[in-house]
Amino acid sequence: MSTSVAVMHATQARVPSGLPDLADLAHAATPALVDRDTFVGAAVIGLVPILLAGLVVLVKWWRGRDEMFDDLTPGLVPQDPATAPRHRVRGGEWSGTVAPAFAPPRDVRPGVVGTVVDGVADPHDVSATLLDLAVRGWFRIIEVPGERDGRPRDWELRRVDPAPIERLTAFEQLLLDRLFEGGDDVRLSTLKGSFGLTMREAQIGLYREVVDRGWYARHPRARNGRTRAVGLAVLVPLVLVAAALVVTGLGHAHDWSLTPVLVGLVVALVVLARWGGARTPRTAEGTALRIEALGFREYLATAEADRLRFEEKRALLSSYLPYAVAFGLTAHFADLLRHLAKDSHWTDYVDGLDWYDVGGSDGGDLSLGDALSDIGDATTWCTDPGDLFDGVDGFTDAADSLFSFDGLAGCGDGCDVPGCGDGCDLPGCDF
């Protein structure tokens, strides 16, 4: 008897201490457990945040639809818009067929028009504003050729004295003051980086104007995300707590009955984060202006030389050009110029283009209007009238690049510090 006991003890001594005992193996082999009642209850609870998130998204979508005047031709405004009946646009934004309009919206500048059309004050809208100020006689744009000798092309902005007798908007005055704060002549290349914040402030000015003039009730880029922010602030901690409970249950009792709660919270979190912020809708006045602007854009995009009315010729290349820039139609203008050059009344189209100078072959400056009125003259630096407007297009692209924050401390692509971003985080944005 004593011998058997000794052998058994010796055998146990030879078993490696690191191996699990039979009880541990039996526990590890136990399948995951699900309590049916707990699982059903957890599934019901998990559906609650999903339904609430879906309801928030539905309400946000409903409230994010543009307004439109009742029983009125799209693009028109009634005599008393304040009391006129209005309704929400089905689908969120009016998308019907527009009739060409032969003139831009009255008393609305190109950058503002571009902002109302798409709800975004993008770089081209600010560049169109700069070009519009030049067309209106506040400064001249002088192209400095450089591509032929290896240097990049540049533009010099030269302030006009005396200034036009005209009242500027706040953001237009801001642009002018910052442009020429160092003198009456400035190279566009020297503004790179340092002028970025001014461009953003002008962007805010565009947003402010579309709100002040009643085309939007709130900031067009405000995503109305307060409800979403509150929901995310509640859901994120709940997701962490639910995840901890599920992991604890799986680790100790192999019970995953509470998993539907975690799944429901995660789905609600994703839905709210992705679709919880609604677009800011236009007012009925804003929708009417947008439709009118789209009609003018349609006209510019389809304009042909033989369809132009004579009284429009003088306004086309100067007054209309900034709107074409805001609409992204500068290339179409260049093609239109090539056709207009064949017109016997060519000089009627080039009147009033002395705001832009091109580099002459002798190194001097040549008015764009002079160059276009005498395409074949040896003093011009190119013979294609469409190519002459490539310089204008290059100027707007260079102005767009001023939105870069290279060289500004604390700013970079995608940053969220005050003064960076899409204009929603600048001081004075909350108006």
Which amino acid is present at 75?
A: G
pLDDT the model gives residue 314: 55
Q: Which two tokens stand for residue 130?
A: 């700069």
The 10s digit of each residue's pLDDT in 83-96 is 899 888 887 888 88
How far apart are alpha carbons 262 and 264 in whole angstroms?
5
- Asked if 158 and 410 count as a contact pair (C-beta separation under 8 A), the reply is no
How far apart are alpha carbons 4 and 12 in whole angstroms?
12
Residues 82, 87, 88, 90, CA torsion sign:
negative
The 10s digit of each residue's pLDDT in 72-123 is 888 888 888 888 998 888 878 888 888 888 888 988 999 999 999 988 888 8
Q: Which two tokens stand for residue 371?
A: 């160059």
pLDDT the model gives residue 386: 53
Which ranges constitute the DSSP H helices of 253-367? 259-275, 284-302, 313-316, 321-327, 330-340
pLDDT the model gives residue 10: 47
Name 88's bridge partners.
Answer: 67
Of 336, 346, 349, 334, the C-alpha closest to 391 is 334
Q: How many CB atoms lie within 10 A of CB 124?
A: 22
How far apart are alpha carbons 171 and 150 in whole angstroms?
36
Of 59, 37, 68, 94, the C-alpha closest to 255 is 37
Which amino acid is present at 93?
A: E
The 10s digit of each residue's pLDDT in 231-264 is 778 888 888 888 888 888 776 767 777 888 888 8
Q: Which two tokens stand for residue 189?
A: 């290349």
- Asked if 83 and 69 count as a contact pair (C-beta separation under 8 A), the reply is no
- Asked if 193 and 406 count as a contact pair (C-beta separation under 8 A), the reply is yes
How far apart are alpha carbons 63 and 282 in whole angstroms?
11
**Residue spans per domain, the chain:** 67-223+280-403
Name 365's bridge partners.
Answer: 359
- Asked if 115 and 322 count as a contact pair (C-beta separation under 8 A), the reply is no
The 10s digit of each residue's pLDDT in 314-334 is 556 678 888 988 998 877 776
Of 154, 119, 149, 163, the C-alpha closest to 361 is 149
- Asked if 376 and 382 count as a contact pair (C-beta separation under 8 A), the reply is no
For 228, residues 6+ apart whose C-beta sits below 8 A from its C-beta are 56, 272, 273, 276, 277
CA atoms within 13 A on the CB side of 43: 7
Q: Give strand ranges (E) for 136-192.
A: 139-144, 154-159, 185-187
Q: Which two tokens stand for residue 391?
A: 């310089």
Region 195-218: what's the mean pLDDT? 89
Of 317, 385, 390, the C-alpha closest to 352 is 317
Task: Please determine, for residue 267, whether its predicted confidence score (pLDDT) is greater than 60.
Answer: yes
The 10s digit of each residue's pLDDT in 348-401 is 666 667 788 876 444 455 556 655 655 444 334 344 555 566 677 788 888 888
Q: Measured in Å, how far apart are the chain's first and last C-alpha atoms?
A: 96
How far apart are alpha carbons 112 and 212 in whole angstroms?
12
Task: Please determine, for residue 22, whether its predicted confidence score (pLDDT) is greater than 50.
Answer: no
